[in-house]
Amino acid sequence: MNEQLTDEERELASMVRDFADTVVAPQAYEADRTHTLSMDVVAQMGDLGLFGLPFPEEYGGQGGDYMALGIAIEALGRVDQSIAITLEAGVSLGAMPVFRFGSEEQKQELLPDLLAGRALAGFGLTEPEAGSDAGATRTTARREGEEWVIDGSKQFITNSGTPITRFVTVTAVTGTEGGRKRISTIIVPNGTPGFTVEAPYDKVGWNASDTHPLTFDGARVPAANLLGTEGSGFRNFLSILDEGRIAIAALSTGAAEGCLEASVEYAKSRTIFGSALSTRQNAQFTLARMRARVHTARLAWHHAARLRDAGEPFAEQAAIAKLVAGEAAMDNAREATQIFGGNGFMNEFPVARHYRDSKILEIGEGTTEVQLLVIARALGLAG
């Protein structure tokens, strides 16, 4: 992980990597098997300051940046994607919208616990009929006096039903303007009457990550729970997704590296026809391509993160990073499973879990096709 890092960043990478190897990895198989997010691991991540990495100290953060967050997520993604996405979503989708668009009162009230890992929050964007096309949002919020009344549903919402989930921020149609839906974002505390966190999904992967559908049936929250200005929700969520794509690219790079590390170790120890698998040229070439993917993916997300942290435009580079890194994770997981042979089909081996987990990296936070669309538009090819 030491390519183009400062001394402070190398220290962070080493610290989180050690935590991942000694605390996260030993519990990963059982957590995956039982579909259980370890709140003890979450608490320890909070104690290490990981949830506060890219936030200023005045709100309880570490005063770092998105590069620091990506370094931590990559190190965790090597050994357990469920834990990595818990951190990624807790920061990018939980705390970051409050920090970026919240009032000072909202920041002071909500951020300290989120940045310390004492609380988690979800971001309710996706709906049964509105995924990449968020303009198709059907959830509504109407103003009645000093309250918003919310009706609708959301799906695939991460960190929405944990024991420490404090609230979800939801996108909702609050009217129309110029013939278009006016989409706003509203904070809905857990326990609000009319707000139901439905049963968790039975997923292909990320089994230890907390993911639920949400239902809103006349859920009432104070008017002051509006996050940002009315009608700015769609624009705000786009900027949040751009940042999140960098973090997902970092997670994907970690997954790709975890597959590579496990495959190199296995190839050296596995004897086939009287010699180590690693001595076979076809295995060497496979591992060399896996290494090249890790290197390329890391450079891509590093570049996007450096641009973001410097205040430069980064949307295209974030899309490139997510595209390249997501495909690297999926390709490395497939080839790692082949290197492991029959063992690669057993969930007790990390590469099997990476094989199941990695597909979502080509879907979540914008599909591969959406990234291609973003890149094409940057080339002036918008239709």
Catalytic residues: 365
- Which residue, 281, 218, 293, 285, is CA-closest to 252? 293
The secondary structure of residue 131, as a DSSP letter, is S
Query: What type of residue sits at position 259?
Result: C
CA atoms lying within 13 Å on the CB side of residue 117: 21
Tell me the C-alpha distance between 145 and 57, whole Å.
37
Output the CA–CA distances (angstroms, integers) from residue 342 to 264, 345, 346, 349, in the order listed.
16, 5, 7, 10
Find residue 275's DSSP bridge partners: 272
Output the CA–CA distances (angstroms, integers) from residue 171 to 53, 92, 151, 177, in the order listed.
26, 16, 11, 16
Tell me the C-alpha distance between 96 and 249, whole Å.
17
Query: What type of residue sits at position 346?
Result: M
- Which residue, 114, 112, 109, is CA-closest to 95? 114
Tell me the C-alpha distance between 139 and 215, whole Å.
10
- Which residue, 285, 287, 274, is CA-closest to 336? 287
- Which residue, 65, 67, 16, 25, is CA-closest to 45? 16
Q: How do strand 271-272 and strand 275-276 relate by DSSP bridges?
A: antiparallel
Torsion of CA 292, 294, 296, 299, to 10 degrees: -140
φ, ψ of residue 172 to 5 degrees: the values are: -150, 150
- Which residue, 5, 107, 122, is CA-closest to 64? 5
* CB 76 within 8 Å of CB 254: yes
CA 77 from chain centre, in angstroms, equals 10
Q: Which residue has the tokens 């999904």?
A: 201
